[in-house]
Structure formats: C-alpha cells, structure tokens
Amino acid sequence: MSNKNYLQVGDKAPNFSATAVYEQEFKQVNLSDYLGKYLILLFYPLDFTFVCPTEIIAFSDIYDNFESMNTEVLGISVDSEYCHLAWMQMDRDSGGVGDLRYPLVSDLNKEISLSYNVLNQEGKALRGLFIIDPHGRIQHSLVNNLDVGRSVNEVIRILNAIKHVQNNPDEVCPANWQPGDSTIKNNVNLSKEYFKSI
C-alpha cells in the first residue's frame, strides 16, 4: 500500500479520531484535542514484539520531562484496543508494558498509518515519529525500519530546539545543539559571530 500524498515537515498534521487505551480504559482520542500543545506521535509495528516495548516504556518513564515541556505522547500501532489492553496488563518482566503514562491508539483499519506514510507492505507501521506543534503542524519526522529503536534523549533534544527557534524566530540551532548552547543568528552578517566562536 502506498500513499501518493507525501507528507512533509511544515505540513498540517492529518487529523484522526480513534479508540485508545489509557489507565486501563478505552477512550476516544482526536488529533484536534491536542491543539495548543506539542504532540509526539510514536508509531510502532506491533504489540507483544521485541523492540517495541523498549521504546514504549522508555517514553513512558520519561513522561514527566515531556509534560514539563507542554508535550503529550500518543503511541500508535495497527493492533486493536483489546490487544493494547492485554499488553498493558502484562508485567514488563514478561514482555508487557505495564501501566503507561500516555495512551496507546488502535489503528486497526490502518488509516492513520497510511495518512502519515508509515504503513509498510506487510501492513505494519514502521517506527515513525512525528513532533507536531501547538498549531497542528509537523515540525519533525523520523522513520526507522522495524529492527532499529529510537532515542528518547534525541527526541527531547529536537523538541527543545524546535521550541527554541519558534520562540526566537531570528535564531537557528546548529548541529548537536542543547539548551544553553550558542545559536546562530538567522542573518548572513550576524551568523559570523557564531562561526568565529567555534
């Protein structure tokens, strides 16, 4: 399956409404519910697999950091909400994910994965990650193949950089930028100050 409507950074994030599991209950979530906040969409292939629980748990364990940054997280796979619930009711030491700090969304009809261009030929979601800003625009996208997990620390770094440049539109963030590091003035002449300092 392929989608000829190629999604790019800067585009409006495709809206969706779906059933999710949160705090052991089913709830309806809509992308539009998150306007006014940053949102991380965390697509992953399947519940009850190997790399997936490590990512899902890592994002949950550091959720307080996201919350302090006005950021929410949604995990999304092509599993049913019943499968999500069973996975969350399984202990972590048995391959489950236990109680999570954010919802897991069911994309059983695969429409969300397709609209974000992460659905592979086998009908699973690739490891797609999207950072959506409070206005509903995609500011970052990353897609890994099924066998490679993502870095939570890098997501936080990128989120900090996105927030910084949105709050300081005359600045841009260089490679490996961390909060507190020098930025570059978005100006041909003023940018030289940064390059002289490195």
Which pLDDT belongs to residue 25?
97
The predicted model gives 119-144 an average pLDDT of 97
Residue 4 domain-assigned (yes or no): no
Contact, 104 vs 121, CB < 8 A?
A: no
Q: What is the mean pLDDT of residues 117-129?
A: 97
Q: With cut-offs at 50, 70 and 90, classify the pLDDT of residue 1.
A: very low
Q: Does the structure show a pLDDT above 80 at 150?
A: yes
Residue 115, in any domain of the structure: yes
Rounded distance, CA 191 to CA 18, Å? 45
Res. 8: pLDDT tops 60: yes
In-domain check, residue 46:
yes
Is residue 78, in this structure, part of any structural domain at all?
yes
pLDDT at 104: 98
CA dist 62 → 57, 156, 190 (Å): 9, 10, 37
- Out of 1-15, 113-127, 157-171, pick the least confident: 1-15
Site of tokens 């800003």: 133
**Global pTM?**
0.94
The CA-atom distances, in angstroms, between 43 and each of 37, 116, 145, 176 are: 19, 9, 11, 25
Q: Is the pLDDT of residue 5 over 90?
A: no
Q: Can you give the pLDDT at residue 3? A: 47
Looking at the structure of the chain, the number of domains it has is 1
Q: Read off the pLDDT of residues 168-178 as tens digits, 9 standing for 90 and up.
A: 999 999 999 99
Active site residue 83: no
8 A C-beta contact, residue 113 and residue 68:
no
Cβ atoms of 103 and 27 closer than 8 Å: yes
Q: Is the pLDDT of residue 141 over 80?
A: yes
25 in any annotated domain: yes
Answer whether residue 10 is part of any domain.
no
Q: Which domain covers residue 106, as residue numbers?
A: 17-149
pLDDT above 60 for 108: yes
Find the mean pLDDT for residues 68-85: 98
In a domain, 109, yes or no: yes
Distance separating alpha carbons of residues 177 and 157, to the nearest angstrom: 8
Counting every residue written for the chain, the total comes to: 198
Give the pLDDT confidence of 25-58 residue by residue, as tens digits: 999 999 999 999 999 999 999 999 999 999 999 9
Question: How would residue 82 be classed by pLDDT, with cut points 50, 70 and 90?
Answer: very high
- Which element (helix H / strand E) includes 25? strand 25-30
> What local confidence, expressed as pLDDT, does residue 157 receive?
97
53 in a structural domain: yes
Work out the average pLDDT over 131-136. 98
Q: What integer best gives the mean pLDDT of the chain?
A: 94
CATH at 98: 3.40.30.10
Catalytic residue from among 7, 52, 88, 173: 52
